[in-house]
Structure 1
Amino acid sequence: MSKTVKVMLCPSSSGPYLDNLSRELRAQGIEVTLIPWFGKQMPYSILRLIWSRLNGFRVLHINWMPFNRFWQLRFTTRLCDLLGLKVVWTIHNLVPHRTQFGSTERDEAAMRTMFAWADRGVVHSTRAKEAAMSKYGDALPLDVIHHGSYVDQVEPVDPVEARRKLGVPEDRLVVLMLGPNRWNKGIRAYLETVSRLPVGYIGLVAGACPDPAIRKTIIDHQERYPDKFMLDLRRLSGGEIADYYAASDILLMPFEWVTTSGTVIEALSHARPVMTTDKGDMYEWVREGETGFLVDSIDDMVSTLSGLTRDEARRMGANGRELASRRTWADSAHQYAGIYLDLERDG
């Protein structure tokens, strides 16, 4: 691009999506500065916003809803209007994963405020675009930009060594649930499905579980079916996550509701097939019988998994990794850069 495009990315630290996007934007010549979450860092984030505007940044790219209180959202929208900022909003979720502003009604009001505030919106699939327009109206122009994958960041791990390290029996077909931190991931359905699988299958539940009710439910099932579950409910490092993918045969994440799932994309990047429900963007990543399975009941999950072989799982995993390799951060960043440039010109 002939002129240097500048963008403020917010929030400044929310995991691999913004880490990968900011790195690729910079690689393409975009000047990026980071604005912290408008919560506990509220005074500092506001100062960063004003400082960045004074230094020539005119586009703010918001991800999720990075606010702890409704008044913070209102204050920030008014300040941005006063500063003459243009706002891009990536709508990763059509509703928050959990109640964010005190009630579902206030959460919906916050979403509507965001839709009214932003100049351009981004979703990750045509289905999400249609759902957003149906729920919130068509006043906000929406672009579809695929979520990038993690293929380039995945270090291959030997499955046999991973199973040895984690104590997973080599002769079991392993059904993984990673990151059991929210009910909407289908934790109850996962536990019931694994408990009904025949001999030769084991459920591996790994990752931080801060919700006491979810933790109790998982532990109760493990105590009831000690031969069916292995648990590691702590925060995992990147290397440990890679070990768990390597030790597994398939990821089971039967979402009750979802828009986008980084875990599903991560599993495919690790060459592991995915079984999930046909919610949100899942159809974009999980191709029936090719990269995994889309199911709509526990009976379907039990029946399909009971007939799954390791060779079939490996074949679908390879297909999933190939699909993921085509969804690059370079492409995503290029599309975002076009939006930023359009807004700078309009401003």
Structure 2
Amino acid sequence: MSATPYVAHLNLASGFRGGERQTLALIEALAGTLRQRAIVRRGGELAEQLADVDVELIAVSGTPISAVRATAGCDLLHVHEGRSVQTAALRRLVSRTPFIVTRRIPQRPSATALWCYRQAHTVVSVSAAIGKVLTACDKRIRPVTVPDCVPPLSADPAVAARLRGDTELVVGQCGELHDAHKGQRLTIEVARRMAETHPQVEFWLIGQGRDEQDLRAAAAGLQNVRFVGWTDNVADYYAAMDVMVYPSRYEGLGSAILEAMLFGVPVVAARVGGIPEIVVHEENGLLFAPGDADDFVTRLTALVENPALRERLGAAARQQAARHTPEVMAGQYRDIYAQILGHAA
């Protein structure tokens, strides 16, 4: 092992979603503290985002096999998404290089993935809820929990004010337009119910995805629903919101929740997966029963009609976000790296 630890981060995702944002934030926070290599998909947005970061960047075709050679010469591999775990397991078989896996989704892993996880020195889950799923699948897998961080975000108050216009109250949802995961149809149903009772409320759906056309059709005729699409300045939209909603059908943690909290936005979210680990009911947000439109309306109405409650929960939400900085997350991973490399020395 070299005097300065050499860690390779593997993320072969083609897009740039929550996991890729977290990968980028960790690499940036670790810069200067150890040698880092990033093995990413050629032509992917993560490769573009890492171009100006102090890291050795290797772009590969995106298959697990194509990435194996790129892992040579490193002391430790850190897997950040599902496909890459096969790469790390193969490298482990070839050269005994230890690896760590970060698991971000709550679904039951495949048999292949479970075998790969058993080869890992450490499995990290971003929430205790995910860890419980993994241990239930295989009692030999005992993950440690390292929550996601809130990457640095800054908003332009003038832009936020312009986005908001003369809208009295903005309720936003940020995430891929994929109803089976993010539950936008439930938000649209709530908007339909509140159109008459609370006409001053406008609902923003921020993001793009496979269900956009179906969701637009579901919202046809509703004047209080706005499809924002993909945006590079999501912080300005957070700054323009009064309330964030997160009606996910399932969720590992919900890093977009933490992003909204950074701006003091109170959250109304489904009580699923790891969400209750960051949204504490009636402390920094409100939780509702998953898929229950009636409960969703009740919780959201409570915030819409009570500015003092929004302010109190929003202030606590900002404090919650402050506990999830990139530096805090990087420190937790540095401790794990040191433990693994000390054990392997």
The TM-score range, normalised by the shorter chain, is 0.7 to 0.9
Residues 2-17 of structure 1 aligned to structure 2 (within 5 Å): 3-11=3-11, 14=16, 15-17=20-22
Residues 24-103 of structure 1 aligned to structure 2 (within 5 Å): 24-27=29-32, 29-37=33-41, 40-42=61-63, 45-50=67-72, 53=73, 57-67=74-84, 77-95=89-107
SS of aligned partner of 1:242: helix
Structure 1 range deviating more: 265-274 or 327-336: 327-336
SS of aligned partner of 2:112: helix
CA shift in 2, pair 1:343/1:187, >3 Å:
same
CA shift in 2, pair 1:293/1:75, >3 Å:
closer
4+ runs deviating over 6 angstroms: none
Q: Counterpart in 1 of 2:113?
A: 111
Residues 290-301 of structure 1 aligned to structure 2 (within 5 Å): 290-296=283-289, 297-301=292-296
* Residue 231, structure 1, aligned to residue 227, structure 2: yes
Measure the CA separation in 2 of the matches of 1:25 and 1:12. 20
Q: Which amino acid aligns with 2:140?
A: A
SS of aligned partner of 2:31: helix
1:302 corresponds, among 293, 297, 305, to: 297
Once superposed, what is the RMSD of the aligned Cα atoms? 2.5
CA shift in 2, pair 1:47/1:206, >3 Å:
same
Q: Is the 8 A contact 2:160 2:239 kept in 1?
A: yes
SS of aligned partner of 1:223: coil
* Percentage identity across paired residues of the two chains: 19
Measure the CA separation in 1 of the matches of 2:226 and 2:86. 46
Q: Is the 8 A contact 1:278 1:294 kept in 2?
A: yes
Q: Which amino acid aligns with 2:25?
A: N
Q: Is the 8 A contact 2:39 2:60 kept in 1?
A: no
Q: Is the 8 A contact 1:180 1:205 kept in 2?
A: no
Q: Counterpart in 2 of 1:244?
A: 237
Report 1 or 2 for greater relative contact order, CA contacts < 8 Å, sequence distance ≥ 6: 1
| Gap runs ≥5 in structure 1 | 68-72, 97-106
* Residue 154, structure 1, aligned to residue 153, structure 2: yes
| Gap runs ≥5 in structure 2 | 42-58
1:261-295 Cα offsets, whole Å, 9 max, x none, are 22111111122111111112211211112221110
Q: Is the 8 A contact 1:271 1:320 kept in 2?
A: yes
Pairs aligned (count): 312
Q: Offset at 1:167?
A: 5.6
Q: Offset at 1:215?
A: 1.2
Q: Counterpart in 2 of 1:99?
A: none
Measure the CA separation in 2 of the matches of 1:12 and 1:25. 20
SS of aligned partner of 1:189: helix
Q: Is the 8 A contact 1:129 1:144 kept in 2?
A: yes
Q: Offset at 1:174?
A: 1.5
CA shift in 2, pair 1:157/1:315, >3 Å:
farther
Q: Counterpart in 2 of 1:178?
A: 174
Measure the CA separation in 2 of the matches of 1:113 and 1:169. 55
2:274 corresponds, among 281, 286, 297, to: 281
2:190 corresponds, among 190, 193, 196, to: 193
SS of aligned partner of 1:301: helix
Q: Offset at 1:301?
A: 1.2
